[in-house]
């Protein structure tokens, strides 16, 4: 039946719907650029969701752990072999995503007899200056969204990932309005947590459709923080050491918050 073009389109639509349903509950992930680096953050993970890919590249993911694992491993293998045969400077997120991971995801998604990847990935690559930071979201069908300037969109210093389109868009709206280039770490941390809270409030059928008021966000953030663990990691801009990725401890995150 798949031989008929219409059936194929239908099968693809079904599978997209299936994947969307599977991903819908995923806890949001926020990455914001600040003066001294890029901060990755998510809340309440039962398992690790933020990963080191290479010297200057980090990844956050939602979806099925098995699929995330296969994609993560592929990304690390590709980056490591490139870094070994050429140099660490030749490993670029743009190439990794555009030439390797995106085609792979698209192929798996469209071959309706095989299993697709139940995963959505957020990557960030730290630049020498903040203008060089790259944020890149890779969807299960291979679609890529980046922070670069394009027609009708100015350059952004952040990237987000969430279970639903609505949640993603609200988080982006929030960060566009609130996040500024050159923020300090403390400021970036608060903004990232607020963005996460916005994304979290927008999840599910009863989720908010508009940006909530500031005090509402703050109250929800405080409530969430009481019960949930925070997972956060940094890509540091300082070039003193080659490996820029560093996972933050819970104490390092809680101290500047004061709540």
How near is the Cβ of 137 to other proteins at its closest, in Å? 19
Whether the Cβ atoms of residue 147 and residue 156 lie closer than 8 Å to each other? yes
> Which parts of 105-124 interact with other proteins (CB under 8 A)?
107
Q: CA–CA separation, 3 vs 38, rounded Å?
A: 47
95-108 as b/e, with b when 16 or more CB fall inside 10 Å?
ebbbebbbebbbeb
Q: Find the DSSP H helices in the chain.
A: 5-23, 65-85, 93-95, 102-110, 165-178, 185-201, 214-227, 250-257
| Residue with Cβ nearer other proteins (241 or 251) | 241
Among 238, 241, 251, 258, binds other proteins (CB under 8 A): 241
How near is the Cβ of 144 to other proteins at its closest, in Å? 15
Among 20, 52, 110, 236, binds other proteins (CB under 8 A): 52
How near is the Cβ of 75 to other proteins at its closest, in Å? 9
| Residue with Cβ nearer other proteins (73 or 89) | 73
| Residue with Cβ nearer other proteins (96 or 160) | 96
Residue window 22-51: x/- pattern of binding to other proteins, with contact defined by CB under 8 A: --------------------------x--x
Whether the Cβ atoms of residue 222 and residue 197 lie closer than 8 Å to each other? no
DSSP-assigned beta bridge partners for residue 158: 32
Whether the Cβ atoms of residue 139 and residue 120 lie closer than 8 Å to each other? yes
* 3 state DSSP class of 63: strand
235 binds other proteins (CB under 8 A): no
84 binds other proteins (CB under 8 A): yes
DSSP-assigned beta bridge partners for residue 58: 52, 124
User: Residue 137 corresponds to which tokens in the numbers above?
Assistant: 């979201």
100 binds other proteins (CB under 8 A): yes
Q: Are strands 37-43 and 119-125 parallel, antiparallel or unpaired?
A: unpaired
How near is the Cβ of 53 to other proteins at its closest, in Å? 7
Residue window 135-164: x/- pattern of binding to other proteins, with contact defined by CB under 8 A: ------------------------------
The residues of the shown chain that bind other proteins, judged by CB under 8 A, are: 48, 51-54, 70, 73-74, 76-78, 80-81, 83-85, 100-101, 103-104, 107, 241, 243
């Amino acid at each position: 039946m798949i031989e008929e073009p219409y059936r194929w389109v239908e099968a693809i639509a079904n599978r997209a719907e299936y994947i969307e349903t599977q991903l819908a509950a995923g806890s949001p992930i926020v990455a914001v650029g600040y003066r001294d680096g890029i901060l990755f953050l998510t809340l309440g993970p039962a398992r690790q969701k933020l990963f080191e890919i290479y010297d200057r590249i980090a990844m956050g993911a939602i979806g099925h752990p098995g699929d995330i694992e296969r994609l993560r491993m592929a990304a690390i293998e590709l980056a490591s072999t490139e870094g070994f045969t050429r140099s660490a400077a030749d490993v670029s997120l743009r190439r990794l995503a555009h030439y390797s991971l995106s085609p792979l995801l698209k192929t798996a998604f469209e071959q309706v007899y095989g299993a697709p990847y139940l995963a959505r990935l957020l990557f960030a690559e730290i630049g020498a200056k903040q203008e060089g930071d790259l944020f890149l979201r890779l969807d299960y069908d291979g679609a890529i969204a980046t922070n670069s300037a394009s027609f009708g969109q100015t350059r952004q210093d952040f990237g987000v990932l969430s279970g639903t389109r609505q949640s993603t868009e609200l988080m982006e709206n929030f960060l566009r309005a609130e996040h500024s280039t050159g923020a300090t770490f403390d400021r970036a941390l608060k903004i990232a947590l607020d963005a996460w809270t916005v994304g979290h409030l927008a999840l599910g059928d009863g989720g908010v459709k508009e940006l909530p008021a500031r005090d509402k966000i703050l109250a929800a953030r405080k409530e969430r923080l009481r019960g949930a663990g925070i997972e956060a990691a940094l890509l540091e801009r300082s070039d003193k050491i080659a490996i820029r990725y560093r996972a933050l401890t819970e104490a390092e995150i809680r101290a500047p918050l004061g709540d």
